[in-house]
Amino acid sequence: MRPRIAANLGAVARVMRNMGLDDFVLVKPEADPADLEARKLSTHGEEVLRQAQVASSLSDAVRDCTLIAATSARTGGLFRRQSMGPPDEIIPLLVEQLDHTPIALVFGPEATGLTNAEIASCHYLIHIPTDPGYLALNLAQAVAICLYELRRAWLKRCSRSRETSELKSHEFSYSTFEVQERMFSDLRDALEEIHFLYGPKADALMHALRHLIGRAKPSEMEIDVLLGLARQIRWYVEHHR
């Protein structure tokens, strides 16, 4: 999200190449991936850097993903304490879904990190337990730690699969971030209609609902059920005002 230093883009591209990844999406980048400093630090990751996509928003960047983990050096407060853990706890939860759908790791800009609103849109929050005297890691270092844990968890999963035979396919399709966002929007509108969401605590309560539903990894059919619930609430309110 909004990276400002070209050298960091190159270093991230290199570690992605190390860990066998190539889906690099930049959200509103201030740094240019074609910058000389980016190319200099992307050793053997030049192709990852060259093919990096640019998105106008977090929603656009992760629209086809079903699980998204944000990263932050800061903790505490409503938006940074739910579903939070270190990389070795959170990333295996994402890897469990990699056989079926894309997942995403989201990193904030160097100077400020992710906003509360951006973190609230994600299912999990990863916090790397650095020394309290200096919490903030360099962007590329944080990416390297998380991608190492991602590769480690993936290799463990592959090894487990070989030992126990191939895993059976799920009988349902996981819902994408884009579909989930539409459902959450409709659900929020419906809950506001009946004043379940009302006043200064509405955002906090909706945040809790997002994480409750998000951790359940709802299928497309289950999302349809929630959309139907929202429609029925609005219909009832309209006819019984």
pTM of the shown model: 0.75
Task: Assess contact for 177 and 103: CB atoms under 8 A.
Answer: no
Per-residue pLDDT band for 163 (boundaries 50, 70, 90) equals: low
Q: Which CATH architecture has domain 6-164?
A: 3-Layer(aba) Sandwich (3.40)
pLDDT of residue 220: 87
Class of residue 214 by CB neighbours under 10 A (exposed 0-12, middle 13-18, buried 19+): buried
- Which among 45, 147, 39, 55 is positioned nearest to 94, based on CA atoms? 147
Question: Domain ranges in the chain?
Answer: 6-164, 177-239
Mean pLDDT of 197-222: 89
- Provide the greatest CA pair distance for the chain: 66
- The structure tokens listed for 144 are 């390297």
Task: Assess contact for 129 and 88: CB atoms under 8 A.
Answer: no
pLDDT of residue 101: 87
pLDDT of residue 140: 96
Report the CATH fold assignment for 177-239.
Helicase, Ruva Protein; domain 3 (1.10.8)
CA dist 105 and 149 (Å) reads 12
76: left (phi over 0), alpha (psi -120 to 50) or beta: left
